[in-house]
Amino acid sequence: MSEPTNSTTDPFASGTSDAHGSLYKAIGLSLAIGSSLFIGSSFVFKKKGLLQSMGRTVIVGELCNFVAYSFAPAILVTPLGALSVVISAVLSSFFLRERLNFQGKVGCVQCILGAVVIVLHAPEEGTTDTTIENFKHLMLSVGFLVYAGIAVIVSLVLVFYCGPRWGKTNMLVYIGVCSWIGSLSVVFTQVVTLVLEIVYLNKALNIFNTAVVTPTYYVLFTTLTIVSATVLYRGFDASGVDITTCVFGFLVICSGVALLHYSRSGNDLDDGASSIDSRRKSLLHTFMSEKVSYEDRHSMDQIRSFHDDEENHMNPFRTPDTLTVNEKVEHSTSLETIDIQPIDPPPSAKGHRAQDAMDPLSAFRMGLHRDNDEDNKGLVARLRKVKPYFFQHQVYAKERWLKRPLLDVFATEFQFRDKMYYYNAIQCGHITVNGSQVEPTYVVQHNDLITHHIHRHEPAVTAKPIEIIDHQDDFVVIDKPGGIPAHPGGRYRYNSVTQLLQCQLNVSRLFPANRLDLPTSGLMFIGLNVDGARRLWADTVEGRVQKEYLCRVVGKFPDRVVCTAPIKRISFRLSLHYVQDDGGKPSETEFERISYDGTTSLVRCRPVTGRTHQIRVHLRYLGYPIANDPLYGLDKPWSHLLQEGQPLDEKYAANVVQTIAAHSHYPDFDPSHINACRDCGLVMTPDPPPNLLSIWLHAWRYASKDQSWAYETPTIPTWAYH
């Protein structure tokens, strides 16, 4: 006879279970909020330079977050991570004096309201049996195995297929890895999630802006975590109203996080390139990247440091700033001959007008000054200078650098410094790989992050004003003076057209739609937003714009000439291009002589294609180079290697590169007047005469072929008159 079954429930046992459930939920809630408090505070410690305090708070915050999942459901703990963003924003406004604008305040309120809604309506997991056997049964269920299989397959595809191809251009690749695997690992252990953040989330944060990465990662990770918990526990124990309310609370938090980060993106962005300080870093990478301290800057008196960015070509939607991974201006120092206090922010800070609109005192305080000089026509010429500043340049290894010793890469790619300099810089830790000091013989690997800590000396540029010809809603048209680069690149950053225009127009970012070389003057179209630049760029590359240049060349130019010689880049480092049949790109330029003065000709140029140095190369190939061209002129030590009407073969191309490199040093100057930089030991060479910064090539007229618009420069250079 079987024993009777008691179908009634012990009310005291039920009450005890409910009390324990409420207590556990309260503990999990407290730990989740505490985790957000510690992690949010760590960002403030990081910006204050208190790295040890930052490390401790991050560790405590992650531990609290890890334990919180043991007491409360994932649907409650995970969304509350948004509070760390709110706490960071609020503390930064108090301790770092970072302004929190109206959008940021609304975002904070939305995050808090959404968190309250989730706390009040968060459902429990669908099962209350937490025994090992039941957990094993849940993990081996068909639904969860299918989800786990999908997550693993998608992650493997992202890591091994998508990562090498699109990891540096699409942030969803690395964020997706963290989110898919994180949605599984967060159910079991937070350690795996933390490791994933160190490896993949940090990659996304190093490449893309924090204001976009953080909210995207939060939304994707939280969504997949909730889906994973739903599949594992087979639903949630709650009414439809509670679940719907909780979902809407989560959406409110998502919009609040996005709004908060968007409001702070103006501080995070530095004309297209985010600074190191404005990027969120995982714990490991932060410790690695801080090995070069402020004190270390003064430990290499024998080292003179600045180097050209290897990337020197532009795309209007990916400005040369964004080609580098991270850039950091750490400290400004005065020239030895001028007593100027350190500047913060650098001269390109928003809110300042263009230098030519400033009174001398304001310009002096900004760290810029001008030198007056007389050019060869008796006109007053001036130079614009930027005070030297400490700078941390980071870039991922180029494909051609792979499997080569680090010292060899620097010695061959950046030959303006001798091999001993780079050897000392690597030995002293001023050149590092992946945040760690390495030996000069270290072999560069794929995805290596190479850092060069330098004291940057920007060359002087012309101080002639940048005239705005037309100002539309989406773009501006300017008359660029010769002797200043169009955009940051190489040794130039703040001394560039886009940086100076950002100050003048009081905007945070500009998008050049056409490019003029540093010594070339004339029309430039600069988008005020991506759409404006894209339209102008598309019209240009698709041949809907007719361009006309003026130049003065050596000799009596023929009446009319059409040159179709193909052009190929001969040296990336020297920015040397020339005619070459093998591998040259199709190029076409129409030339027409306007006048001849007995020694030189004024020529109108109509480039049909848009290759780099196209006009200059075609003129040199025809035997009539621009009269004062320092690269393709007739009076250079390498001029005999560039024969009229003869393309360069590989052998002669190598000879030209070697000859130019051998003669690319500074001209001789009186050694008794040599000064060295007090901070880095760099020999302070004389500034070039202002008239040598530009060449006799001017972008005079741009017009649409359908005659819907046309622009000309208001004036033409004086060399075009005689």
Q: Give me the active site residues, please.
A: 517
Cα 692 to the center of its chain, rounded Å? 31
| Residue owning tokens 């306007």 | 594
* 3-state secondary structure (DSSP) of residue 398: coil
Distance of CA 657 to the CA centre of its chain: 30
179 with 172: CB under 8 angstroms?
A: no
**Cβ contacts of 650 within 8 Å, gap of 6 or more:** 582
3-state DSSP helix/strand/coil % of the chain, to nearest 5 = 45, 20, 35
Residue 77 tokens, joined: 């703990």
- For the record, the structure tokens of 330 come out as 């750490």
Query: Cα torsion at 515, 516, 521, 526 (round to 10°)?
Result: 10
Residues 6+ apart with CB under 8 A from 341: 334
640 to 436, 563, 646: CA distances (angstroms): 47, 21, 12
Q: Which residues contact 358 (CB under 8 A, 6 or more apart)?
A: 352, 366
CB atoms within 10 A of CB 578: 25
Q: How many CB atoms lie within 10 A of CB 113?
A: 14
| Rounded alpha-carbon distances, angstroms, from residue 675 to 336, 680, 681, 686 | 8, 12, 9, 10
CA distances to 32, 226, 304, 363, 561 from 702, rounded to whole Å, are: 60, 56, 43, 34, 20
Q: Interior CA angle at 673 toward 672 and 679, to 5°?
A: 115
Backbone angles phi, psi at 569, to 5 degrees: -75, 125
